[in-house]
Amino acid sequence: MLTETAFESRWSGRESGQATRKGFPAACNDSMRSIELIGASMSFRRNAEIYGEREPADYLYKVVSGAARTCKVRLDGRRQIGAFYLPGDIFGLETGDEHTLSAEAVIPSKIVVIKRATVISLAGRDIDAAHQLWTLTTRELRRTQNHLLFLNKTAPERVAGFLLEMAERAEFEGEIELPMPRQDIADYLGLSIETVSRMLRQFENASAIALPAPRRIVLRKRAVLKGLIA
Amino acid sequence: MLTETAFESRWSGRESGQATRKGFPAACNDSMRSIELIGASMSFRRNAEIYGEREPADYLYKVVSGAARTCKVRLDGRRQIGAFYLPGDIFGLETGDEHTLSAEAVIPSKIVVIKRATVISLAGRDIDAAHQLWTLTTRELRRTQNHLLFLNKTAPERVAGFLLEMAERAEFEGEIELPMPRQDIADYLGLSIETVSRMLRQFENASAIALPAPRRIVLRKRAVLKGLIA
DNA sequence: CGACCATTTGATATGGATCAAGCGATGTGG
DNA sequence: CCACATCGCTTGATCCATATCAAATGGTCG
C-alpha cells in the first residue's frame, strides 16, 4: 500500500532521504543550516533519552528524521510534554545553563548535535548568526505561548487544536501521520488518554475526521475542527 | 504604619523613586537600560490597554512603576493571562510582527516605551545589544515554560506555586503585596476566583500564610508551600 | 497461533466550576 | 458624620467535565 510505505519510510527508522517538509517557514529549514555541516549525527532508539533534566545544556539539536519530545516528569509519575519536534526542527535552546526539561526520541530518530558554545561564540562574532539564534528562540517562545493558551480550554478544544497544529506541520495537509502514541498526546494536552480517545471518536462520529489507523488521521472537515477551538 | 506606606508608594501611582527590587537577577534590571535613555515614559490608568492583540508589535515596554499583564480574551469571555510584569521587567518582545496577546496596566503604572525597530537595528549593529535581546527572549521563554508547567497541576499546587513565584520577585521576601485582584490570579492560573480564594483560606488554616488584607500575603511556612507544589 | 502492547469503551468518582448569597471595605451624597 | 451603594472577596450548595477504574478489543511481532 502506497501510503503505508510512505509512513514506514518516514517514521520507522529506515529513513530514505529525509523528505523536505511542507507548510513550514523556509527559515526553519534553512536557518542554522550550518549545524548540519559542523554537527555530528546521532541515532536514537524509540524512547531513548537525548538529554536529561538538570543536565548542562551544552548542545543544540536538530531533528533529521523521526521525532523528539521534551518533557518533565513529576514525582507522582505525571508527565507534561513541552513540545514535539519534527524533521527540520531545532530544540535544546530553551534554557540557560541547564536543561529545564528532558528530551527523548518518540520513535527511532536521527538527530544532528552541535556544541552550544560553538553556536553562541559564532553568534558573538557573526551578527547574522546572532539574529538566527534570536529568531529561533522567538519561534520557540511563540510556540510555547500558543501551547500555554490551550491548556485552559475544554477537552474537545484541546484535541481539535492539536490536530490542526499537526496538520499544519504535516507532510500532506489533510492527512496526519502521528509519530506519537496516545499517551504522549494526552501528556501534551494535559488530558487522560481515555479522554483523547473519546474526543477522536467524537470527531469521527461527526465526520470531521477519519481514523483509518490509530496513528493515521484524515481531516475531512477542517471547518468543524476550527469551529471547535473557539 | 510603615508597611502600609511602602505599599502605597509602590502600587498606588505616587511612586517615589522606583525602589530597586530584590531577589532579581541583576541582568534583568540592568539589561537594555538604554531603553530608559532613548524611550518615552507613559502613564497608564488601572486596566488601561497598553497594546491590543493583533496590533503591530512596533514597541518594547519596560515597567518603571506599577504592574502590567499580558492576556488573551476569548469569544466567550474567558481570559488567559500570559504573564505579570513588575518594575524592571521588559515585555512586548513575545512575538513576530504582531502581538499575540494584549497588554494592560494592572494598576496605575509608568511604562517606558521604545521603538522595536530601534532595538532591532541596534542589535543588527551591536553584538552586545543582540546578545541582550536574546537573553531577554530566553528569560521570557523560561518563564513561559514554567507557567506552562503549572497549568496541569492541581489547584493547591498552582496557587502555592504562584505565591512562591511572587515571593521571589517581591521587594521583601516573606511578605507579598499583590498588585492584582483575585480575578487576575485566577485567569493566570486557569482557576476560578472562588477556588483561588478557598486555596488561600486553606493555606491560612494550615498557618502556611497569613492574610492581613486581601492583597497582602505573609508567608509563614515556606516549606509547607514548597511541599505542596510536588 | 499466542502474547503483548496500545487503544477503545463503559461505569463510577471527584476536583473544581458554577450558582447564589453574604460580608467588609471604600467611597459618595445627604 | 452617617446611611447607603458599590466593588472585591469569601463562603456555601450543587453540578458537571474529565479523571479514574476496569474490561474488552485489536493490531503487531515472534
**Per-residue pLDDT reduced to its tens digit, A43-90:** 999 999 999 999 999 999 999 999 999 999 998 889 999 999 999 999
Based on the fold, state whether residues B74 and B173 are members of the same structural domain: no
Q: What is the pTM of this model?
A: 0.87
Compare all CA atoms of chain B with the CA of A96 and give the residue at the minimum distance.
B138
**Segment among A34-38, A132-136, A163-167, A191-195 with least mean pLDDT:** A34-38
Based on the fold, state whether residues A161 and A137 are members of the same structural domain: no
- Pick left, alpha or beta for residue A141 (phi over 0 → left; psi -120 to 50 → alpha; otherwise beta): alpha
Based on the fold, state whether residues A146 and A161 are members of the same structural domain: no
A24 contacts A31 by C-beta, under 8 angstroms: no
Q: Give residue A75's pLDDT.
A: 87
Based on the fold, state whether residues B32 and B101 are members of the same structural domain: yes
CATH of the domain at B47: 2.60.120.10
Based on the fold, state whether residues B128 and B185 are members of the same structural domain: no
Q: How many CB atoms neighbour CB A125 within 10 A?
A: 9
Nearest one of B195, B218, B194 to B207, comparing CA atoms = B218
Q: What mean pLDDT comes out for the span A164-192?
A: 95
- Pick left, alpha or beta for residue B88 (phi over 0 → left; psi -120 to 50 → alpha; otherwise beta): left
Based on the fold, state whether residues A171 and A66 are members of the same structural domain: no
Minimum-distance CB partner of B141 among A144, A190, A230: A144
Based on the fold, state whether residues A13 and A39 are members of the same structural domain: yes
| CA–C1' B193–D12 (A) | 15
Q: Which of B109, B124, B150 is the last residue of a domain?
A: B150
CB contact, 8 Å: A82 with chain B?
Answer: yes
Domain count, chain B: 2
pLDDT tens digits for range A184-224: 999 999 999 999 999 999 999 999 999 999 999 999 999 99
The alpha helices in B126-154, defined as continuous H runs, are 127-150
Q: Give residue B173's pLDDT.
A: 81
Based on the fold, state whether residues A134 and A66 are members of the same structural domain: yes
Count of residues in chain B: 230
For residue A91, what is its C-alpha cell?
530544540
Based on the fold, state whether residues B29 and B74 are members of the same structural domain: yes
What's the domain range around B117?
4-150
Nearest one of B53, B67, B56 to B102, comparing CA atoms = B53
Q: Which of A93, A119, A150 is the last residue of a domain?
A: A150
CATH of the domain at B178: 1.10.10.10
Based on the fold, state whether residues A62 and A85 are members of the same structural domain: yes
Nearest one of B90, B113, B87, B106 to B10, comparing CA atoms = B87
Q: How many CB atoms neighbour CB A43 within 10 A?
A: 15
* Strand C: protein residues, Cβ closer than 7 A: A 181-183, 193-194, 196-198, 200-201, 211, 214-215; B 154-156, 190-192, 194-195
| CA–C1' B195–C12 (A) | 25
pLDDT digits (tens), chain B, 230 positions: 333 333 333 333 333 333 333 333 334 444 565 555 678 999 999 999 999 999 999 999 999 999 999 999 998 889 999 999 999 999 998 777 899 999 999 999 999 999 998 888 889 998 988 988 999 999 999 999 999 999 999 999 999 999 999 999 988 888 999 999 999 999 999 999 999 999 999 999 999 999 999 999 999 999 999 999 98
Based on the fold, state whether residues B99 and B27 are members of the same structural domain: yes
- Pick left, alpha or beta for residue A54 (phi over 0 → left; psi -120 to 50 → alpha; otherwise beta): left
Q: Which of B128, B150, B172 is the last residue of a domain?
A: B150
Based on the fold, state whether residues A209 and A123 are members of the same structural domain: no
Q: Give residue A32's pLDDT.
A: 61
Minimum-distance CB partner of B148 among A134, A140, A147: A147
Q: Give residue B29's pLDDT.
A: 44
